[in-house]
Amino acid sequence: MPCPSSCPPGLLALMAPGLALMATFSLPSQAGDRRALPVEKSPGVKGRTLILLDVNTKSPVRIISENFLSLQLDPSIIHDGWLDFLSSRRLVTLARGLAPAFLRFAGKRTDFLQFHNVKNPAKSRGGPGPDYYLKNYEDDIVRSDIALDKQKGCKIAQHPDIMLELQREKAAQMHLVLLKEQFSNTYSNLTLTARSLDKLYNFADCSGLHLIFALNALRRNPNNSWNSSNALSLLKYSASKKYNISWELGNEPNNYRTLIGRSVNGSQLGKDYIQLRSLLQLILMLFLVSFLSSCFPCSYYIDGRVAKVTDFLKTRLLDTLSDQIRKIQKVVNTYTPGKKIWLEGVGATSAGGMNNLSDSYAAGFLWLNTLGLLASQGIDVVVRHSFLDHGHNHLVDQNFNPLPDYWLSLLYKRLIGPKVLAIHVAGLQRKPRPGRVIRDKLRIYAHCTSSHNHNYVRGSITLYIINLHRSRKKIKLAGTLRDKMVHQYLLQPYGKDGLHSKSVQLNGQPLAMVDDGTLPELKPRPLRAGRTLVIPPLTMSFYVVKNVNALACRYR
């Protein structure tokens, strides 16, 4: 079965379970990677900082999914009430800016989620109950639901400020409950109603996202086989509504022993997937292939031991992922050669992140490098955890304001196409010492410019560059890139907080949603043809090299 990006409408796709990977290893350069070793100023030589850069424009080294950068929502939003606000026009606008993408609904509470097919949201809503609200707040949500049901097409709401204020108060109290569960590793059951599923699907559909739903895999029979009765109820309801959803089974099965004191081995999981396939066949009368035959999603959390903002500048942290990816690729190539690999649950740090760190400008270095590294290694899809309100790794805060990683993701979506190009770098390099790896603080990646961006003709190339140096670097475009017009998109922190800032500026102008609730125009800074690129210290930037007429980029 092809991955969900190619599934016809109404098809419920089957995918393999997530595998949790705690990335704690550093890595050597990938075999076949044509990037040069780190570019550093040679000891004793001052002022010579020029780097020559060229790109192989004949053919791509990798082709990733159009949905490469995708999103995740954690089931905890049922507990804390944010699910009721997914119809917000502002949230839909922000999510639509990152389309096309997958929206994965999964997290640690996936395997404690129960579906209950009832229609009265006032009586069945999950969470701590009406003690956290004013009565009018509860009534307003019910009336809002009724009003939305009468609309055609996308169901979009404008929630009064008082409702949002009360919701933030409720979420803050519920956050303490969720933290207690996390630290005690004891999770309470969650109830997903039919109304809640409708809201979740409406959000995904209106935002142009394809919903992936992870089913509870911890409902077990006495013989340890999967109890599919509740999942069957959910599948039947989704099919009756003609929802186009892809389905996973479970979340991080290698963590089940910690959660429930017993494990579920790979053989049993394979049998469980055959059972899920049978359920889908029963409902849809469609043939779906078995375990690991389509996509192989897995979870990855970047090292959670980030304690201060300068930790995000350490190249050792940026390099923790690649070795793990090669291990996964080896397994996939051995047992299901040629199949796509997905990484799900990706965030700046594990355990929900840290306030004023994981949601700051500095965390973007890790996020952008992860996107560049995974694309260059051929990972097909990366699912960002979380779009809204899970810990501090989210893209949008509780005021529905986009955080730095959102703007970084938006730029990536607008400028980066699925074709990955090899780059060639020449310049001064410090000679490696025996047994020591020189860490690269200047990271450069190249793609064909997105064909969906009508500001650039096919054949244009986009470079994205991370400069972790505390000094500026100069890059001279050479070869096929020489003397071409360049558009610069320079992302820097905005305000006095520096790397801790939760606001960013693009080419010197602060980024924020427009007063009418739309996304701002991302305006480039044109550079003169042949001009040397000057990369400011501690910045992330995108450069579109126009009219290269790159053969690799001229055709789909």
Question: Over 50: is that where the pLDDT of 373 sits?
Answer: yes
Question: Band of the pLDDT at 427, cuts 50, 70, 90?
Answer: low
Q: What is the distance, to the nearest Å, from the Cα of residue 494 to the centroid of all Cα atoms in its chain?
A: 23
Which has the closest alpha carbon to 353: 71, 345, 188, 399? 345
Spatial separation of the C-alpha atoms in residues 3 and 333, rounded to whole Å: 17
Highest-confidence range of 181-185, 303-307, 389-393, by mean pLDDT? 181-185
| Amino acid 97: pLDDT | 97
Task: Say if CB 409 and CB 97 are below 8 A apart.
Answer: no
Strand locations in 427-524 (E): 442-449, 461-467, 473-477, 486-493, 504-506, 509-510
| Mean pLDDT on 224-239 | 92
Highest-confidence range of 26-30, 150-154, 439-443, by mean pLDDT? 439-443
Selected residue with higher pLDDT from 265 and 503: 503
| Amino acid 402: pLDDT | 96
Task: Please name the residue that has the structure tokens 């389905």.
Answer: 247
| Amino acid 522: pLDDT | 97
Q: CB within 8 A of 215, min separation 6: which ones?
A: 110, 231, 234, 247, 248, 249, 250, 276
- pLDDT tens digits, 75-86: 989 988 899 999
| Amino acid 435: pLDDT | 52
- pLDDT tens digits, 103-130: 999 988 888 899 998 754 444 444 443 3
Which has the closest alpha carbon to 403: 357, 445, 371, 369? 357
| Amino acid 9: pLDDT | 35
DSSP of 223-276: TS-B--HHHHHHHHHHHHTT---EEEE-S-GGGHHHHHS----HHHHHHHHHHH
Task: Please name the residue that has the structure tokens 């292939």.
Answer: 289
The two three-digit tokens of residue 398, written as one number: 């509780």
Pairing of strands 20-22, 246-249: unpaired
The letter for the amino acid at 509 is Q
What is the gyration radius of the CA atoms in the chain, in angstroms? 24
Question: Band of the pLDDT at 367, cuts 50, 70, 90?
Answer: very high
Question: Over 60: is that where the pLDDT of 7 sits?
Answer: no
Question: Over 80: is that where the pLDDT of 139 sits?
Answer: no
Which of 68-72, 344-348, 449-453 comes out lowest in average pLDDT? 344-348
DSSP of 130-192: GGGS-HHHHHHHHHHHHHHHTSSSS--B---HHHHHHHHHHHHHHHHHHHHHHHHT----EEE
For residue 504, list its beta bridge partners: 493
Which of 10-19, 71-80, 84-93, 236-245 comes out lowest in average pLDDT? 10-19
Mean pLDDT across the chain, nearest whole number? 79
Question: Band of the pLDDT at 144, cuts 50, 70, 90?
Answer: low
The two three-digit tokens of residue 85, written as one number: 């606000």
| Mean pLDDT on 193-215 | 95
For residue 72, list its beta bridge partners: 104, 385
Rounded to 5°, the CA angle 365-396-401 comes to 110
| Amino acid 305: pLDDT | 53
Crossing angle, helix 229-240 and helix 194-207, to 10 degrees? Answer: 50
Highest-confidence range of 127-136, 339-348, 377-386, 502-511, by mean pLDDT? 502-511
Which has the closest alpha carbon to 235: 279, 174, 175? 279
Question: Band of the pLDDT at 436, cuts 50, 70, 90?
Answer: very low
Task: Say if CB 104 and CB 4 are below 8 A apart.
Answer: no
| Amino acid 30: pLDDT | 31
| Amino acid 80: pLDDT | 86
The pLDDT > 90 percentage for the chain reads 46
Q: CB within 8 A of 541, min separation 6: which ones?
A: 464, 465, 467, 488, 489, 490, 491, 535
- pLDDT tens digits, 376-420: 999 999 999 889 976 678 999 989 999 999 999 999 999 999 999
Q: Write down all domains in the chain, each with its CATH number in brackets.
A: 66-119+145-401 (3.20.20.80)
Question: Band of the pLDDT at 278, cuts 50, 70, 90?
Answer: confident
Question: Over 60: is that where the pLDDT of 3 sits?
Answer: no
| Mean pLDDT on 419-447 | 73
| Mean pLDDT on 477-506 | 96
Which of 84-98, 197-211, 277-291 comes out lowest in average pLDDT? 277-291
The letter for the amino acid at 260 is I
| Amino acid 397: pLDDT | 92
Task: Say if CB 396 and CB 94 are below 8 A apart.
Answer: yes
Which of 20-24, 386-390, 430-434, 507-511 comes out lowest in average pLDDT? 20-24
- Helix locations, 352-394, DSSP H: 363-376
| Mean pLDDT on 35-44 | 38
pTM recorded for the entire structure: 0.82
Question: Band of the pLDDT at 351, cuts 50, 70, 90?
Answer: low
Which of 275-284, 490-499, 520-529, 530-539 comes out lowest in average pLDDT? 275-284
